[in-house]
Amino acid sequence: MLVTDLRHFLDLPRDTPGPARPLAEHLSNIVRAATAGDAGTAWESALPCRRRPANRRCPGRMIVLRTAAGAPIRWQCRVCEDEGVISNWEDSPFDLRRRWPALAGAINEIGIPDEVAAALRLLDTGCERLVFRMRAGDEGAVLAATDDDLDELIEFAAAEANHEPSRRRRQRLDAAFDALSTAAQTPHRW
């Protein structure tokens, strides 16, 4: 059981050595998922496991549970033994709890490949709650979004791709844009 205090992982310097930086990213993603999704119930997010037993990526996803502010967020891999708790997540930059009521709208569930889900997590801000609320699907991730949400996400991916200096990240964002645009035009989504 990995017991962590999120405050120790905020604002790590760029040159932080060793495993601290990937761990910080892992923990901050878990906090984003747990605060973007519903509280009080454990659910399987689209976030991949960080472990690589015998040099192979663990195929598990992160199951997250947030109860109330003041209580640690709990997480565990669906497949391996990796698990932990994160305290002091409240009001951190990764706390995506909704501060205003959700707009009503029919929610579509859209299946997207893992690579696209990973690319969407590169987006800076704006659509974070949508992105980190993604659940694990039978294959890939499941994005639950209204038509307006999806339009916004597509515009956002396009805008970010236009401003992205890294060629590799730009290609990933372009692929995400294409996948979402296709999903938006498909009348029967899964």
Q: Which amino acid is at 14?
A: R
Q: Three-state SS for 27?
A: helix
| 49: contact with Zn ion by CB under 5 A | yes
| 46: contact with Zn ion by CB under 5 A | no
- Alpha helices, DSSP H, located in the chain: 20-36, 114-120, 128-132, 147-163, 167-185
Task: Please report how close the Cβ of residue 79 comes to Zn ion at its closest, in angstroms.
Answer: 5
Of 60 and 137, nearer to Zn ion (C-beta) is: 60
What is the phi/psi pair of residue 181, to 5°?
A: -65, -40
Task: Please report how close the Cβ of residue 85 comes to Zn ion at its closest, in angstroms.
Answer: 16
Task: Please report how close the Cβ of residue 106 comes to Zn ion at its closest, in angstroms.
Answer: 34
| 60: contact with Zn ion by CB under 5 A | yes
Q: Which of residues 81-110 bind Zn ion (CB under 5 A)?
A: 82
Of 117 and 180, nearer to Zn ion (C-beta) is: 117
Q: Which of 80, 85, 118, 144 binds Zn ion (CB under 5 A)?
A: 80
Of 59 and 93, nearer to Zn ion (C-beta) is: 59
Q: Which residues are near Zn ion by CB under 5 A?
A: 49, 51, 58, 60, 77, 79-80, 82
